[in-house]
Amino acid sequence: MSKSTPLVGRRSWRPKWPVNTDRVFKRRRYFGTKRSVLKLQGQFNPKTLRRELVLTDKKPLFWIAALTILLVLPLGVGNQRFLSLFGIICIYAAINVMWTLIIGTAGLQSFATLATVGVGAYGSAYLSITYGLPWPLMLVAGAGFGALMGWIISLPARRLDGLYYALLTLGLSEFMRNFVTQSDALGGKFNGALFGVAQIVPSDLLTTRAGQSLLYLTAFIALLVILIVFRWVNGGRIGLMLKTAATSKEDESFASAIGVDFQKARTHVFIIASAALGFMGAFYATYIGGTSLQIFSLELLLLMLAMIVIGGLGKAEGALIGTVIVVGITQWFTDWGPWRVVLVGVLALLSVLYTRNGIFGLKAQIQEIRERRQALHRAAITGRYAEYLPQQAPDIHDKSLIVGRVFERTLRDRLKSWIDPDIIKEHELKPMGQHSDHLERMLNYFRKAPIPDKYAVYCVEPFASYRVVALSGLPGVPPRIVDDKTYPSLEEAYHAVFLRRVNDLRAS
Amino acid sequence: MATISITGYTDKVSVAPGEEVSFQVSVDNASSAQVEIVRLIHGDEHPEGPGFIEEVVPTVLSGEHAVTKQFVDVGNAAVVDDPDNKLGITGPITIYSYIFPTTPGKGRQVILGRFALDETAGYALCINPDGHLAFLVGDGEDTDEITSPIPLMHHTWYFVAASFDPKSGQAAMFQEAVVSPYNGRLGRVAPFDHHAAVEQKLRVKAALPASPFMWAAAHNSASIRGEYKDFLYNGKIDRSGVIGAALSVADLKALKDGTYTGAAHVAQWDTSAGYGEDGIGDVIVDVSPNALHAKGLERPVRAMTGYNWSGKHDDWRVAPSEYGGIEFHDDAVMDCGWDTTCTWKVPEGTRSGAYAARVTIGAVEDHIPFFVRPLKATAPILYLMPTNSYLAYANEMIVHHVPVGQAIMSHPAVLSEAEADYYQDPRFGRSTYDHHNDGAGVCYTSWKRPILNMRPKWRSSAIGTVWQFPRDLSTIGWLEAKGYAYDVATDHDLTRDGVDLLKQYSVVLTGSHPEYWHEQGLNDLEDYVADGGRLMYLGGNGFYWVISYRDGEPEIMEVRKGEAGMRAWQAEPGEYYHATSAERGGIWRNRARPPQKLTGVGFTTQGFDECHPYQRMPDSYHRSVSWIFDGVEGEVFGDFGLALGGAAGLETERYDLELGTPPHTKLLASSTSWSDNYASVHEDILFNHPGTLGTQSETVRADMTYFTTANNGAVFSTGSIAWMSALPSFDFENNVSQIMANVLDAFIKPGALPGGAWDQEEKSWT
């Protein structure tokens, strides 16, 4: 080992709570679920064997912190621009969360997200204007429209896949825009703008800070509702099933093999998400007291796609953080003009180019990069069968393996120095029985090697045909055939094993 | 086309004419098979021998029989006999137990409970897949559980308990380790704190499954396969109980401290109750008034040290209360319990011998061996087949899991297709040379399962030659070739009939490796020889390990490998005494019966690289024994054979006065100067030192001896496993065969033995 061997070891600076094992541990659960409030797992510290209580899932803490900021910050600052900015963030985030459910969990490349939101918005707005529907019923109607829309769009998903389905759903927004422009009832004359929709917060209150705060609160609650739906579907049975099924490349056949009706589950998730999107459309209509064609615009769709890409696909937290970043840039720094869009584009590009799955995929990615660098670095300074490094030792539970290598290195060096044609000839002439001291020691070393990958002979036909195999050392795993050569006698097979072992020794 | 495979077993080791033997056959991918009864004459297919020889016996059985795939319900468990459904508890419940888990992380394992996976219903105290203690309930739709916050440590004793009140949903759990200087893998200096107490509400109430309350398993079923045990547990379980009330954490702790005074037990199992003078049965006694006794399945191992083992006693009979541990293994198989495919009533007049049901489907075949013994002796020769030793090696897989295996065998393992297949799924259990999945040595082995390596043509992967049964067939081949009239009986027949079986014969022949003996069998053989019987001990490493059977269950054999001997494993401290016979296990030498006392020779070395010829020793020229070598030319004999080219080798024996070789024994021949792959046996070594291997140790050899006993009795010992494999060489015409014939011819004749007159002091001038 080199002179500058680094010291290994880390001290934990995290606050520690001693575990009082005499106290009864009262494990509480979220209401109505089997989920523990915090996933606390006991363990024995591998360095000291001291009892520790570890929080195995920190996500709930981050969620509580993020949602608290989202609630308290706009209400605390209280100016109108801030409140409306965060209102938009909540609404867009809610839509993105549902979109990511469709793309990530259901695995459908659908771009009909905003079309569905629009259908919810226009449908409920129309009902409100025409029939005076109050806002709570508007939300219900919006969800209904969304579900219907979802059902219709899910039909071609059975036949179309990937790119074609994406194109079809992308076209749907344009179709909706045309439909609205040509429909008088939907404000075609006013370029698709509808006004006078029932609002949650009475319009006379909207000029006051209290009213604005209240309005923001409704957006925040809408986001909470959507997050609960996401958790319910994604973390529920159907979501778990879909995610399990999607671990294989041949998703569908694998899923059906393990008893998941993939199409049905997918459609199910898609309709639920669409209903939620319709709900958000209706909410949007009541939130601003009307609706406009901007909802079907390609620009908004792409912007929202950027939010998901930057945040990370398939994760609610990704949708949320992506929305905060993109909406923040585009709506807050209005004086930057067109550069805002460029900046968003650059961020999305960087995300696609350099991250595997947006911001929330970064942690795993960095971990992997570290492991790869570690492996390369260690491989560069140690050879096969060389000794272990100090930084490898903490990962080796059985320390006798470490000293075993120290011994083995010396032994192998000595054995290697004895390899010559004479010793190989000696074995070939007589594989069994007493040999010269050097050959005997070499054979003893080979024969007492650990089982994994240990060579053995496989009898294809007694006294006629043998091959060389390597044992697995794992229960239930059969020996591996090492090559396609066969040998007519046991002695020749024994010698073939010997030659392989000598080669392995030489190569180490 | 799917691969066809055939296997099976018989219900009995041996049958007499007039009795029935049934065949349990399982076949993959076929529905009918041709069955013939064959008499086995020779097995070893080595090209220098006669090859495989069988003789088809015309029977009513011959013909096509319907066959099917049969499954094995693998693993130990215990089922509670509960006719009044006392454990059908849907109200408040508490379960507690002392446990010693050995593989807590292997997957879910039930400790005690009544749970059915196929119904998702029931309750169970168990270990969850993360290795934490858990109490699981299922209502037919959904399950819920309370778990301990810390994982269980393997090979550590714990008191574990859980309670549940379905009305309030409140569950409680308590666990505490019981660590003494003796009772576990770790002592108290390892600063583990295993204490945990948890409270939590469960959202599911238990619904009752149809299956019974079990120890160490849950119930499951699948189409085609049917019912089977699942969630199998590895490790020991000691005293346990069930209470029909939901105890608080304080009360659970009181249970452990022995201060509990609350609601009465529904069941209170005292795992150390019912230990008899002569052994322990399969029943786990419930000492509560309900008497809900549990019966062990596939022979859980009893007489194991308990949580309270003091370390002072090493014998369960002295301190039974410290031996409440019952060991469960998820891979144990004692009786496959297969449906009978066909039955053969052995007709009167059927000659005694080694037989097999030959089951064939196209080119695929299997021989399912059994033995036909005579009703009474039909010849002066009895060939005693060492069926105890066949059981010991049944389904041995040593080369797959013992790293030094190839070093012991001194050559690479030679695997067959059948073995490579079987290793993937060892569903017919293991041999006493293997370990269970948790590393514990296998101490029970059984006849009632397919035994892959007890087949006439089987070649041992470890040894590279035939081993045991196929080798022993070479002596049958020789007896047939030489035209001797003989009977065949087994160790199992000796167990049943005692010395009377032997007394019918002038001479008894052993197998090549009669290694495993129970006390009665050894006594019978000693009585026979001492009273004038004649023994030809034709093997090596015989009369070595102590074994025992439970009365009435001769198909299941127990062995506890002790602190000495050439052994594949060693029993844990304090666990050397057999559960089935209450006697100390280990090698007979350490129970004051070295093999030399009976046969003149005893185990001295083993090696598997080469076999060697014998060289005549000076004693062999004495007129009292020189007749043994009549017709043998030269000093050297046995330099050939189907076993690595010599008659002396593999596992061999030596003459040793200090170990009880009778003082008048003649050392007829010996074989020495072997390779370093032959090592001195472990029980001969006190301090290990360089120089205990073949090229440097004089105890590495094989000795052939002869001595006479009272009433014209005698013992001739060859001292080598390879001996029998030399008989078939050169078409059974060779000097080894000649020596065999000389001795056998003399031993058959009643009255005085040859050479007996030459008993006076020599007065030699040369």
CATH number, residue B360: 2.60.40.1930
B242, β-bridge pairs = B95, B267
Cβ of A434 and B46 within 8 Å?
A: no
User: Highest mean pLDDT: which of A1-15, A353-367, B627-641?
Assistant: B627-641
Using the 8-state DSSP alphabet, how is residue B622 labeled?
S
> Measured between alpha carbons, how far is B225 from B69 in angstroms, rounded to an integer?
9
Residue A431 pLDDT: 95
Reported as a pLDDT band with limits 50, 70 and 90, residue B76 is: very high
Q: What are the residue ranges of helices labelled H in A78-188?
A: 80-100, 113-131, 135-157, 162-181
- The tokens of B166 are what? 């379905």
> Measured between alpha carbons, how far is A313 from A295 in angstroms, rounded to an integer?
22
Reported as a pLDDT band with limits 50, 70 and 90, residue A284 is: very high
Residue B313: partners with Cβ closer than 8 Å, 6 or more residues away: B319, B322, B574
DSSP A286-315: HHHTEE-GGGG-HHHHHHHHHHHHHH-TT-
For chain B, percent of residues with pLDDT exceeding 70: 100
Question: Terminus-to-terminus CA distance in chain B, angstroms?
Answer: 78
User: Which of A45-49, A51-55, A277-281 is predicted with the least confidence, judged by mean pLDDT?
Assistant: A51-55
| Nearest CA-CA partner of B448 in B94, B13, B43, B745 | B13
Residue type, B133: L
Reported as a pLDDT band with limits 50, 70 and 90, residue A385 is: low
- The tokens of B277 are what? 């003078």
> Measured between alpha carbons, how far is B413 from B460 in angstroms, rounded to an integer?
9
Q: Domain with B700 in it: what CATH number? A: 3.40.50.880
Task: Please indicate, yes or no, if residue B319 is contained in any of the structural domains.
Answer: yes
For chain B, percent of residues with pLDDT exceeding 90: 94
Q: What are the residue ranges of helices labelled H in B443-572?
A: 469-482, 491-497, 499-503, 519-530
Cβ of A478 and B677 within 8 Å?
A: no
Whole-number average pLDDT of chain B: 96
Whole-number average pLDDT of chain A: 87
Q: Let me know whether B276 and B245 are in one domain.
A: yes
Using the 8-state DSSP alphabet, how is residue A371 labeled?
H
Task: Please indicate, yes or no, if residue B138 is contained in any of the structural domains.
Answer: yes
| Nearest CA-CA partner of B628 in B764, B723, B750, B753 | B753
What are the phi and psi torsion angles at A236 (to 5°)? Answer: -80, -175
Cβ of B148 and A42 within 8 Å?
A: yes
Torsion A188-A191-A196-A198 (CA) sign? positive
Helix (H, G, I), strand (E, B) or coil at B22: strand
Question: Terminus-to-terminus CA distance in chain A, angstroms?
Answer: 18
Q: Are B583 and B548 in contact (CB under 8 A)?
A: yes
Task: Please indicate, yes or no, if residue B761 is contained in any of the structural domains.
Answer: no
Cβ of A49 and B191 within 8 Å?
A: yes
Site from B52, B128, B150 to mutate, A interface, most A CB atoms within 10 angstroms: B150
- Residue B612 pLDDT more than 50? yes
Q: Let me know whether B313 and B340 are in one domain.
A: no
**Closest chain B CA to residue A468:** B414
For the stretch B97-114, pLDDT in tens is: 999 999 999 999 999 999
For the stretch B527-560, pLDDT in tens is: 999 999 999 999 999 999 999 999 889 999 999 9
Q: Let me know whether B81 and B158 are in one domain.
A: yes
3-state helix, strand, coil in chain B (%, to 5): 15, 35, 50
Task: Average the pLDDT over A23-47 and give the result.
Answer: 86
Q: Are B625 and B668 in contact (CB under 8 A)?
A: yes
Task: Please report residues of B whose CB lies closer than 8 A to that of A471.
Answer: 399-400, 413
- Residue A2 pLDDT more than 60? no
Residue B510 pLDDT: 98
- Residue B676 pLDDT more than 90? yes
Reported as a pLDDT band with limits 50, 70 and 90, residue B720 is: very high
Task: Please report residues of B whose CB lies closer than 8 A to that of A436.
Answer: none
Shortest Cα–Cα distance, B391 to chain A (Å): 23
User: Angle at which helices A113-131 and A80-100 pack, to 10 degrees?
Assistant: 120
User: Which of A296-300, A426-430, B146-150 is predicted with the least confidence, judged by mean pLDDT?
Assistant: A296-300
Task: Average the pLDDT over A263-275 and give the result.
Answer: 88
> Measured between alpha carbons, how far is A96 from A276 in angstroms, rounded to an integer?
11
Helix (H, G, I), strand (E, B) or coil at B99: strand
> Measured between alpha carbons, how far is B358 from B338 in angstroms, rounded to an integer?
18
- Residue A253 pLDDT more than 70? no
Residues in chain A, overall count = 508
Q: Let me know whether B356 and B382 are in one domain.
A: no
Task: Please indicate, yes or no, if residue B755 is contained in any of the structural domains.
Answer: no
| Nearest CA-CA partner of B359 in B62, B19, B14 | B62
Q: Are B444 and B89 in contact (CB under 8 A)?
A: no
For this complex, say whether ipTM is above 0.90. yes
> Measured between alpha carbons, how far is A490 from B460 in angstroms, rounded to an integer?
14
User: Angle at which helices A316-327 and A209-234 pack, to 10 degrees?
Assistant: 150
> Measured between alpha carbons, how far is B185 from B425 in angstroms, rounded to an integer?
30
> Measured between alpha carbons, how far is B561 from B443 in angstroms, rounded to an integer?
8
Residue A332 pLDDT: 83
Reported as a pLDDT band with limits 50, 70 and 90, residue A254 is: low
Higher pLDDT: A386 or B302? It is B302
A28 touches chain B (CB under 8 A): yes
Residue A257 pLDDT: 66
Q: Domain with B90 in it: what CATH number? A: 2.60.120.200
> Measured between alpha carbons, how far is A439 from B676 in angstroms, rounded to an integer?
12
Count of structural domains within chain B: 3
Q: Let me know whether B514 and B367 are in one domain.
A: no
Q: Let me know whether B288 and B398 are in one domain.
A: no
Residue with tokens 């429209």: A145
Q: Let me know whether B427 and B344 are in one domain.
A: no
Reported as a pLDDT band with limits 50, 70 and 90, residue A41 is: confident
Shortest Cα–Cα distance, B412 to chain A (Å): 5
Q: Are B137 and B206 in contact (CB under 8 A)?
A: yes
- The tokens of B334 are what? 């004692």
Cβ of A42 and B399 within 8 Å?
A: no
Q: Are A456 and B411 in contact (CB under 8 A)?
A: no
Helix (H, G, I), strand (E, B) or coil at B75: coil
> Measured between alpha carbons, how far is A18 from A41 in angstroms, rounded to an integer?
14
Residue A374 pLDDT: 87
Shortest Cα–Cα distance, A9 to chain B (Å): 21
For the stretch B557-571, pLDDT in tens is: 999 999 999 999 999
Shortest Cα–Cα distance, B517 to chain A (Å): 31
- The tokens of B243 are what? 């209470």
Cβ of A24 and B199 within 8 Å?
A: yes
Residue A207 pLDDT: 80
B328, β-bridge pairs = B235
> Measured between alpha carbons, how far is A483 from A372 in angstroms, rounded to an integer?
31
Residue B604: partners with Cβ closer than 8 Å, 6 or more residues away: B652, B653, B654, B656, B680, B681, B684, B699, B700, B701, B702, B703
Q: Would you tell me how many other CB atoms lie within 10 Å of the CB of residue B172?
A: 24
Q: Let me know whether B700 and B574 are in one domain.
A: yes
Residue among A21, A447, A473 whose CB faces B195 most closely: A21
Task: Please indicate, yes or no, if residue B422 is contained in any of the structural domains.
Answer: yes
| Nearest CA-CA partner of B653 in B669, B638, B664, B639 | B669
Residue among B199, B249, B407 whose CB faces A447 most closely: B407
Residue A224 pLDDT: 95
For the stretch A136-170, pLDDT in tens is: 999 999 999 999 999 998 888 777 777 888 888 88
pTM: 0.90
Q: Let me know whether B416 and B499 are in one domain.
A: yes
- Residue B618 pLDDT more than 50? yes
Q: Let me know whether B82 and B231 are in one domain.
A: yes
Domain housing B451: 372-748
- The tokens of A366 are what? 């960095």
For the stretch A165-224, pLDDT in tens is: 888 888 888 888 888 888 877 777 777 788 888 888 887 887 888 888 999 999 999 999
A residues 388-447 closer than 8 Å to B (CB): 431-434, 440, 443-444, 446-447
Q: Let me know whether B189 and B100 are in one domain.
A: yes
Q: Let me know whether B536 and B549 are in one domain.
A: yes
